[in-house]
Amino acid sequence: MASTFLSSATGRALIGATALGLAASVIPLHGAHAQEVAPAPAPAVPSHGPASVADLAEGLLDAVVNISTSQTVGPRGGQRGGPRATPPRPSLPEGSPFQEFFDEFFNENNRGGEGGRRVQSLGSGFIIDAAEGIVVTNNHVIADADEIEVNFADGGKLKAELVGTDPKTDIAVLKIDPGQRKLTAVQFGDSAGMRIGDWVMAIGNPFGLGGSVSIGIVSARGRDINSGPYDDFIQTDAAINRGNSGGPLFDMHGRVIGINTAIISPSGGSIGIGFSIPSQLAVSVIEQLREFGETRRGWLGVRIQPVTDDIAESLGMDEARGALVAGIIKGGPVDDGSVQPGDVIIRFDGKEVRAMRDLPRIVAESPVGKAVDVVLIRKGEEQTVKVTLGRLEDGERIAEDGTTPPADEAPVATAAVLGMTVAELDDAAREKFAIAAEVSGVVVSEVAEGSAAAERGVAAGDVITEIAQESVSTPQEVVDRIAALKSQGRRNALLMLASKTGELRFVTIRMD
């Protein structure tokens, strides 16, 4: 069965266990030739077992809580306010034994009315500020909840209010009244200092059974499981199951170095592959949620894509690294020309950008309004530019409008190159391919089947805006640029393509 990613949260299950008894076999020695065999020496018994974590766990259990939520849904499981989907009452024979069952079912649905019915779910969380009653959990634990309740190990309960959530990192911050009971808090540690093989301890509420402790090691770091734009998970083999979501992952000093959030499992139970949000990422998000009730992330205002081996070769780079700038968002922080399409960002504010996925996380962790140095490779040369960051949440509202400024256009004939037929981007071509008015360049009118361009996903209606980081506006310029690259001994042509709506991407096309 294929393994699947599962939130380690919510839901209750019963687990059956079967004991397997092994019968001992006794083999007698028969006849006069039987010999007595001296018993083997007993193995040395260690004076003590592995170091216990009981003292560590005892001091942390009171800070870990159960998060219980309730939500109103429609009679058939739809969200409150959705359309009712109750099936029609079946026609049953007089005196049918199923009559009572169906009466109960339909009467229950009718009692739900427009208010629907209540469902509950369970997860975990932990207290980080006893004086203010601040509790941290996963966003997916409390998403869409009408009521949130924090349950303690001694049976106590407190209503919680939502301070703020961040779906991008799956973090939520809650607040309870600290005046109603004495609270125990835990502190965050440094996840960056954790090494593969370090011992860790998870505490949570698996399957709704109550506080549970499991121990394991850090199996890997920097895991990307495609759950969000800032994936940088700690992987652990400490048992994490449904209901552990939002619970803490501790180092051996009792500091929180991760927030347990997901597992890989073919069955829904732990198979030793769990993932935690590192404290290095979580702390800044939590601080922003506490202060503002929302996140305020840095924003560079660029569209990026990976640097492949072919792209690196086309740009004259010795290895594939960094993040390739595919487009600049109009009105963004670098719309002043400081960063240009085709640049490869290799360092940001002193932090190395090894791969494309590193850049969004590093930028997002930077303060809004901060002036930072950006090291990039432009046309084969390393340069440093200084940019002032905007706010991501503001940029998301205008990102769809960002395009490359139009270039001058001149009417020319069509041309065939690299398996493509390219033509002037005139009004007729715009109407034929539904190309937006702000898109400029040379339109691809046809792509030969099986050609190098077709293999790279180039399609009719794409617009070539640049070749080898130089803009093109006529079919002849496309032909001239390809010829120039061939004369330089290049094997790949790096093309910037715009979609019909203006979204930019880079492709490399073999020229040999």
Whether residue 487 contacts residue 465, with contact meaning beta carbons closer than 8 Å, is answered with: no
Give the pLDDT of residue 396: 73
Distances in Å between the Cα of 168 and the Cα atoms of 199, 221, 277, 356, 503 are 28, 19, 11, 17, 23
Q: Report how far residue 244's alpha carbon sits from residue 408's, in angstroms, rounded to the nearest whole number.
A: 59
Clarify whether residues 258 and 317 are in a common domain. no
Clarify whether residues 369 and 310 are in a common domain. yes
Whether 342 is in a domain gets the answer yes
Whichever domain contains 308, its CATH number is 2.30.42.10
DSSP track, 157-202: EEEEEEEEEETTTTEEEEE--TTSS------B--GGG--TT-EEEE
Residues 6+ apart with CB under 8 A from 249: 200, 201, 202, 234, 236, 238, 256, 257, 258, 259, 260, 276
* Least-confidence region, from 54-68, 282-296, 408-422: 408-422
Confidence band of 209 (pLDDT split at 50, 70, 90): confident
Whether 133 is in a domain gets the answer no
Confidence band of 253 (pLDDT split at 50, 70, 90): very high
Give the pLDDT of residue 104: 54
Whether 84 is in a domain gets the answer no
Quick check: 183 pLDDT over 80? yes
Whether 325 is in a domain gets the answer yes
Whether 81 is in a domain gets the answer no
- Eight-state DSSP code of residue 94: T
* Least-confidence region, from 63-77, 289-303, 359-373, 485-499: 63-77
* Residue among 442, 459, 295, 314 nearest 377 (CA): 314
Find the mean pLDDT for residues 186-190.
96
Using the structure block, give the residue that is written with the tokens 């001694």.
154
Clarify whether residues 329 and 422 are in a common domain. no
Find the mean pLDDT for residues 36-52.
56
What own/partner pairs with CB < 8 Å and gap ≥ 24 does 13-20 have? 13/207, 13/242, 13/268, 14/207, 15/207, 15/269
- Eight-state DSSP code of residue 396: H
Q: Report how far residue 360's alpha carbon sits from residue 39's, in angstroms, rounded to the nearest whole number.
A: 67
DSSP track, 418-469: TTEEEEE--HHHHHHHT--TT--SEEEEEE-TTSHHHHTT--TT-EEEEETT
Clarify whether residues 270 and 306 are in a common domain. no
Clarify whether residues 450 and 478 are in a common domain. yes
Residue 245 designated active-site: yes
Clarify whether residues 484 and 423 are in a common domain. yes
Distances in Å between the Cα of 77 and the Cα atoms of 10, 111, 140 are 16, 15, 18
Whether residue 142 contacts residue 67, with contact meaning beta carbons closer than 8 Å, is answered with: yes
Q: What is the pLDDT of residues 34-43, one digit of tens each?
A: 444 455 565 5
* Catalytic-role residue among 8, 121, 170, 314: 170
Using only C-alpha atoms, what is the Rg of the chain? 31
- Eight-state DSSP code of residue 229: T
What own/partner pairs with CB < 8 Å and gap ≥ 24 does 110-114 have? 112/74, 112/75
Find the mean pLDDT for residues 233-239.
94
Give the pLDDT of residue 312: 87
Find the mean pLDDT for residues 402-410.
36
Confidence band of 267 (pLDDT split at 50, 70, 90): confident
Whether residue 508 contacts residue 314, with contact meaning beta carbons closer than 8 Å, is answered with: yes
Using the structure block, give the residue that is written with the tokens 């979609």.
499
Q: Report how far residue 511's alpha carbon sits from residue 191's, in angstroms, rounded to the nearest whole number.
A: 47
Whether residue 493 contacts residue 478, with contact meaning beta carbons closer than 8 Å, is answered with: no
* Catalytic-role residue among 7, 219, 245, 276: 245
Find the mean pLDDT for residues 352-377.
92
Confidence band of 225 (pLDDT split at 50, 70, 90): confident
User: HSE-up of 466 (CA within 13 Å, CB side)?
Assistant: 21
Clarify whether residues 198 and 283 are in a common domain. yes
Give the pLDDT of residue 2: 46
Q: Report how far residue 57's alpha carbon sits from residue 96's, in angstroms, rounded to the nearest whole number.
A: 58
Confidence band of 400 (pLDDT split at 50, 70, 90): very low
Instruction: Name the more confident of 196 and 50.
Output: 196
Whether 55 is in a domain gets the answer no
Instruction: Name the more confident of 86 and 426.
Output: 426
Whether residue 284 contacts residue 365, with contact meaning beta carbons closer than 8 Å, is answered with: yes
Residue ending a domain, choose from 371, 401, 431: 401
Confidence band of 398 (pLDDT split at 50, 70, 90): low
Confidence band of 344 (pLDDT split at 50, 70, 90): very high
User: Residue 219: which domain range?
Assistant: 191-292
Whether 366 is in a domain gets the answer yes
Give the pLDDT of residue 47: 46
The whole-model pTM stands at 0.63
Clarify whether residues 259 and 303 are in a common domain. no
Give the pLDDT of residue 7: 55
Residue ending a domain, choose from 240, 269, 292: 292
Q: What are phi and psi of 347, to 5 degrees?
A: -150, 140
Give the pLDDT of residue 510: 86
Terminal CA-CA length for the chain:
44
Clarify whether residues 265 and 232 are in a common domain. yes
Give the pLDDT of residue 144: 83
Find the mean pLDDT for residues 242-263.
93
Whether 239 is in a domain gets the answer yes
Distances in Å between the Cα of 377 and the Cα atoms of 15, 349, 366, 383, 493 are 56, 15, 22, 6, 18
Number of domains in the chain: 3
Clarify whether residues 495 and 469 are in a common domain. yes
Average pLDDT in the chain: 80
Give the pLDDT of residue 461: 93
Clarify whether residues 278 and 320 are in a common domain. no
Give the pLDDT of residue 89: 53
- Eight-state DSSP code of residue 379: T
The token pair at 389 is 């960051």
Quick check: 231 pLDDT over 90? no
Clarify whether residues 436 and 506 are in a common domain. yes
Q: What is the pLDDT of residues 77-128, one digit of tens each?
A: 444 433 344 455 555 455 555 455 555 555 555 554 455 555 566 899 999 9
Whichever domain contains 260, its CATH number is 2.40.10.10
Residue ending a domain, choose from 401, 433, 451: 401
Question: Is 330 buried (19+), middle (13-18) or exposed (0-12) by CB count in 10 A?
Answer: middle
> Amino acid letter at 416?
A
Instruction: Name the more confident of 37 and 70.
Output: 70
* Catalytic-role residue among 7, 140, 251, 343: 140
Give the pLDDT of residue 477: 86
Give the pLDDT of residue 412: 40
* Least-confidence region, from 71-75, 143-147, 215-219, 435-439: 71-75
